[in-house]
Structure 1
């Protein structure tokens, strides 16, 4: 009996845990818009007064709605208010007995409504949004355009189906600028420390497209007929953005889209906000607003896409994000016709695995796949019809789906295009997987007139016979032959004349192929003397160092170095001499002298050669000084790599600490900390890396620090402490990395923490990561 009960217990616990996860999933957030939300009331107008404290992302707000009953008998207005503290609600000036449940705000109206009955609803609230509002290290904050984002900073039904006129009154500390949905209609000094900005839209805008940006901007404007284009560039980008060029392009692009669509720009003003980092945002346009990100790639592509988005994306908008290809198709058709030279966006600055979610529909990868794949999707006549009828597509319902587009096409050309195309995107990772690399070892038998080439694959390999050309270089002539190989290892023997100077392989027809060749020293000396390009001569110079068994080469290299050489060639010879001398006593001076060269490539070669001299005080002091004085990262990295070879661990650890204390940006520190960890000083490296996870550093620094901690910090208690900071972290990419670290150091406490926290995580990507872990 006891044995049976004990054997049964693990199954009970497993089933209990499974049921708990299933219940958790039932309660979990839905991240896409409802297809057809129940709307008992029509929203006529929103006047929003918002006080924002950028230093802690705190908001205090008052939302005043004018609503109108759509049906008789409606007695409760339902809004969404995620993690907002509602302090007071009134209807037509009378206090309302509201309730807040599961992020929904229920407001009873005074009487059972009749169709057309109008009410004024006033809501006072406050909060600190974790989702829906983004913040960078400069305390610039801006609104997300991900689905269901607006409900985190204003009580609302933030569905594409809902539209209304708007008035925004946004109060901020003095010295900070504000841009928001609508036309800027005023600004007012509230006190020495505060300003208020007002924006209004007399044209209805979608609730899902409300947007704002608050921060330190350099602002410029230009007219566009009776309308206006405003440009706000983050002050950190002053020297990197040409504002006049952006404004001129905005004018040109607006005009070209208007001409093609035969429709005016739909609003009185266009606000363009340029920021450093996208913070993981996918959709970059809202009503009257375009966000451009320096690390998203070509600004012209982003700008044109955002301008097109004011028609296809705001006027006509996606009903659900999983149907958003209808919008991307429209944008692509227009883009390809109006700006054919630019199209690809960058996908940098996001953790691996972070981009695969519902949000990807408006992400760089999806956009790029449409740009590359649309030409192959349908035959030319279908594509021409789609392009030529794009103006008529705007006459479809404002809130659209792919099916509505497909119905339009079918009605006109009888083509059942109801399945959305599935495009593949050739990422850098896939390109790397497709590449093939071989090492080629030369064995020259001069007496027999035979040259054996041994091929050994180092990355991928050719499964079929591959033929490349070989040029046999002789005094006064060149003979051509073919070299054929396949598989992971292969060899071929060429019959050559004893007077051959060298052999050169040509594989231009195989762009994914790389060969690393190891030739006899006589071949290399011939190429060093007679190579047609600097690159050929420099490559030969560097390869001489692999012949360490030939002591005569040291004298030959020294003789070469007495000549007037190109810097790249001299650098190659220095590195080859370092390989041959291998740290022999008294040979370091040539490399120390190279550090004084006017050419960086020679200085770097001399520096790398010094790693052969461990515990040499002159070398250690010299390289340490170079690291401290390095203004550019390549030289700093090489200096630190050499120090790991010549410095003892304790001294290196102290030196890294001094770098960390002096480095205010973080790039040098992160690299130094990685080298410290590679030396085995993991505990010290973890302590130092923790300093660079704070929000004052840029994403690339913070993410590098967290990646280092994920690799080396396996203390569950440390990760639990980092998890406590999730609710205060505005960047979803950082939350994603912290959750990843917690998942790799799981214990019962972390599991319970993630189960409790998951219901408060509103970013689909982070939420999914937690789900995968649990």
Structure 2
């Protein structure tokens, strides 16, 4: 059976229960909505075909459509067809051409088809509808609109039973404004100009398509295509990304992956066409593929790795699919095994542009964090012989099992062959930090101060724990460097503070500490000026010489160092070393009158590191008009964001608050992207101009800006605006935003400024929030 005919009556009734609990003051946790598919729904009707005539207005996410289904009764006695239609306005329904007396309750559309159907009896049902979905359809700053692949998303743009158990053939006739292109589930048959302002596209599927994987995208794309046998591969890249996306390479990789997987799995690619859409931002989507459709996101890491994951998903993800997302590991296991075999290099993906401090939801099972856990943890799950068997079973599972599976489905098949009870889903964990290095809590940092007593031939090393601490003795090596020789000694220390005295020759040039047996140990060394000068002259690498040059600034009390540094800077140096010397010179001169010219000259350098070092030194010359004008000129003229940020930070030290407000206003007016404006606004807030910062941050939370900019603007407001009425005003507008991350951040702002009016508003709103992550965030406010 492939369909369901049932009603989620609990959907809103559960919300009512929550509100009653609030009314009676009973402690509760908001978990009323179900965001996963029902495991075993009641199946009354089978869906044969869907013909969808749809008009889309991308600018405001307006949809107007007519959905026509051919359905067949699975049992005798069935009389009502139930579809899901969340926040969709139904204008008319007909059955076999006759008007039907439909009803719409709790996001379910009830259509009487006959008094009592006979098993196998067929009906044609037509529904005319319209709506403005703020869930199910996503939109980015480029104006691209595409369908979400989260559970129960399709019901927001078409009346449907969007469950993995439902599948049918499709014909999509979708009209979009001229200048936009459309790609959708199935095979493209034609496109035609309806009028000067409207284009209409037709896509059909000869194969049954899962109702839970219907997809389309509308946007301004560059189209590339190729063939894989008799099947066509289309690549649609957002026009703003065409310079950074290697379309021929992606198409070539697609052909190779399709061929390799078809050979390995002994099952041909399941659909007649593959549409690949490349956009800039993932908008917090976790499953990035639908039937015959793959979405690639520039801010999710390697496009080729995403492509391979999506192609494998056409077999293990669509041809076979899980009945509930909580069973997604059944698919991710095979995706991981296949990707490890076919991919080159790292197989993890990026989690950038994702809000922090989210609660666990069913969405996580197809999420990138879970994906990365599988990539890093699969080798520790079971032994090699079990891995080998499971991988070899891939082809058999595709050909012998049904389309809808679970972890237990796979585990039972494995058990029948090798008798291993693998029914418990893996509990994978990762302990690496964001850079993939050792865990932060495993790193140990000690500050080491050097005290040289040349008269007595002693060098004292004082160890002070900065992060972490050794409770046992730790031994490292100390290489004493002399003009004509090098001697080695051992240094042992422990605890929060310790000191070691070495007997050295008064002619010692420097000392170098090494800890090859302790890769977790970081030493922050503060050496005497003569040691640093020696290392500046004789360091083996640019990095070593630059590190010594930078540390010279810690000896500001030494009047001879200024002349020594100036002497060094007259020599031919690498830019990195010169920048480090400038930084030390700035620390030593500390804004002394008449010393600013060397740093002003550094601003004219072609090397950015030198310019940045000059800028940082100039922050000590407050009240010097030429310095203010020069730094401001750098900020206004540079094309490099990092240099702009350095110059802005220096201006906060040089300018009064009123002067910096004026500078901020100029940047805000000139910056159409928002990167510079948001940085300046945050610096303005840091200076104490909170009211002025809030007013300007407010400008950058609209859909005119990328999520990155909007996020930073909202973080600034969350940090500095503590007026509940302001947040309520933002909520009334932005809780309708199609990007769930924006809604999530708005709720975070409401949570931090909660009052009765806010909780009352969210109690009424929560029934209209269909994203599990945002819904649970609201639950935090209402608890």
TM-score, structure 2 normalization: 0.95
Say which of 62, 70, 76 aligns to 1:72.
76
2:301 corresponds in structure 1 to 297
**Aligned partners of 2:573, 2:353: CA distance in 1, in Å?**
41
Say which of 229, 240, 264 aligns to 2:233.
229
Is 1:324 matched with 2:328? Answer: yes
1:557 corresponds in structure 2 to 565
**Aligned partners of 1:433, 1:665: CA distance in 2, in Å?**
38
1:676 corresponds in structure 2 to 684
**Aligned partners of 1:708, 1:432: CA distance in 2, in Å?**
27
1:425 corresponds in structure 2 to 430
Is 1:58 matched with 2:62? Answer: yes
**Aligned partners of 2:311, 2:607: CA distance in 1, in Å?**
47
Is 1:650 matched with 2:658? Answer: yes
2:369 corresponds in structure 1 to 365
Q: Residues 571-590 of structure 1 correspond to what in structure 2 (within 5 A)?
A: 571-590=579-598
Is 1:375 matched with 2:379? Answer: yes
Is 1:530 matched with 2:538? Answer: yes
How far does residue 771 in structure 1 lie from its aligned partner after superposition? 0.5
How far does residue 727 in structure 1 lie from its aligned partner after superposition? 4.1
CA deviation profile, 1:727-772 (whole Å, cap 9, x unmatched): 4301000100000001000111111111111110000000000101
1:446 corresponds in structure 2 to 454
| Aligned alpha-carbon RMSD (Å) | 1.7
Answer yes or no: is the 8 Å Cα contact 1:70–1:116 preserved in 2.
yes
Answer yes or no: is the 8 Å Cα contact 2:359–2:777 preserved in 1.
no
Q: Secondary structure at the match of 2:126?
A: strand
**Aligned partners of 1:432, 1:23: CA distance in 2, in Å?**
38
Q: How many residues align?
A: 761
CA deviation profile, 1:563-583 (whole Å, cap 9, x unmatched): 222222222221111111111
1:6 corresponds in structure 2 to none
Answer yes or no: is the 8 Å Cα contact 1:62–1:124 preserved in 2.
yes
Q: 1:16 to 1:196 in 2, by over 3 A?
A: closer
How far does residue 22 in structure 1 lie from its aligned partner after superposition? 6.9
Q: Secondary structure at the match of 1:622?
A: helix
Answer yes or no: is the 8 Å Cα contact 1:285–1:291 preserved in 2.
yes
Is 1:215 matched with 2:219? Answer: yes
Say which of 745, 766, 771 aligns to 1:758.
766
How far does residue 508 in structure 1 lie from its aligned partner after superposition? 4.4
How far does residue 449 in structure 1 lie from its aligned partner after superposition? 2.2
Q: Residues 583-732 of structure 1 correspond to what in structure 2 (within 5 A)?
A: 583-732=591-740
How far does residue 341 in structure 1 lie from its aligned partner after superposition? 2.8
**Aligned partners of 1:145, 1:509: CA distance in 2, in Å?**
49
CA deviation profile, 1:242-272 (whole Å, cap 9, x unmatched): 1100100000000000000111111110000
Q: Which runs of 4+ in 1 moved over 6 A?
A: 21-27
Q: 1:15 to 1:356 in 2, by over 3 A?
A: closer
Answer yes or no: is the 8 Å Cα contact 2:30–2:776 preserved in 1.
no
**Aligned partners of 1:15, 1:660: CA distance in 2, in Å?**
43
1:38 corresponds in structure 2 to 42
Answer yes or no: is the 8 Å Cα contact 1:614–1:647 preserved in 2.
yes
Q: Secondary structure at the match of 2:439?
A: helix
How far does residue 506 in structure 1 lie from its aligned partner after superposition? 1.9
Q: 1:366 to 1:21 in 2, by over 3 A?
A: farther
Moved more, 487-496 or 114-123: 487-496
Q: Residues 458-473 of structure 1 correspond to what in structure 2 (within 5 A)?
A: 458-473=466-481
**Aligned partners of 1:436, 1:120: CA distance in 2, in Å?**
71
1:128 corresponds in structure 2 to 132
Q: Gaps (5+ residues) in structure 1?
A: 1-13
**Aligned partners of 2:19, 2:296: CA distance in 1, in Å?**
49
Moved more, 287-296 or 432-441: 432-441
Is 1:159 matched with 2:167? Answer: no
**Aligned partners of 1:659, 1:427: CA distance in 2, in Å?**
39
Q: 1:258 to 1:728 in 2, by over 3 A?
A: same
How far does residue 593 in structure 1 lie from its aligned partner after superposition? 1.4
Answer yes or no: is the 8 Å Cα contact 2:697–2:714 preserved in 1.
yes
How far does residue 514 in structure 1 lie from its aligned partner after superposition? 2.4
Answer yes or no: is the 8 Å Cα contact 2:735–2:746 preserved in 1.
no
2:421 corresponds in structure 1 to 416
Answer yes or no: is the 8 Å Cα contact 1:34–1:320 preserved in 2.
yes
Q: Secondary structure at the match of 1:725?
A: helix
**Aligned partners of 1:560, 1:154: CA distance in 2, in Å?**
72
How far does residue 60 in structure 1 lie from its aligned partner after superposition? 0.5
Answer yes or no: is the 8 Å Cα contact 2:174–2:202 preserved in 1.
yes
Q: Secondary structure at the match of 1:32?
A: coil
Moved more, 167-176 or 525-534: 525-534
Answer yes or no: is the 8 Å Cα contact 1:28–1:759 preserved in 2.
no
How far does residue 503 in structure 1 lie from its aligned partner after superposition? 0.8
Moved more, 207-216 or 387-396: 387-396
Answer yes or no: is the 8 Å Cα contact 2:80–2:114 preserved in 1.
no
Answer yes or no: is the 8 Å Cα contact 1:365–1:425 preserved in 2.
no
Is 1:436 matched with 2:440? Answer: no
CA deviation profile, 1:394-428 (whole Å, cap 9, x unmatched): 12221111111111111111111111111112453
**Aligned partners of 1:762, 1:471: CA distance in 2, in Å?**
64
**Aligned partners of 1:107, 1:507: CA distance in 2, in Å?**
76
Q: Secondary structure at the match of 2:619?
A: helix
Q: Secondary structure at the match of 1:492?
A: strand
1:405 corresponds in structure 2 to 410
**Aligned partners of 1:362, 1:680: CA distance in 2, in Å?**
43
Is 1:271 matched with 2:279? Answer: no
Q: Secondary structure at the match of 2:260?
A: helix
Q: 1:495 to 1:531 in 2, by over 3 A?
A: same
CA deviation profile, 1:460-483 (whole Å, cap 9, x unmatched): 333443332221111111112222
**Aligned partners of 2:333, 2:503: CA distance in 1, in Å?**
59
Q: Gaps (5+ residues) in structure 2?
A: 1-17
CA deviation profile, 1:201-222 (whole Å, cap 9, x unmatched): 0110110010001000101110
Moved more, 501-510 or 87-96: 501-510
CA deviation profile, 1:672-694 (whole Å, cap 9, x unmatched): 11111111111111111111101
**Aligned partners of 2:152, 2:461: CA distance in 1, in Å?**
63
**Aligned partners of 2:90, 2:475: CA distance in 1, in Å?**
74
**Aligned partners of 1:763, 1:20: CA distance in 2, in Å?**
27
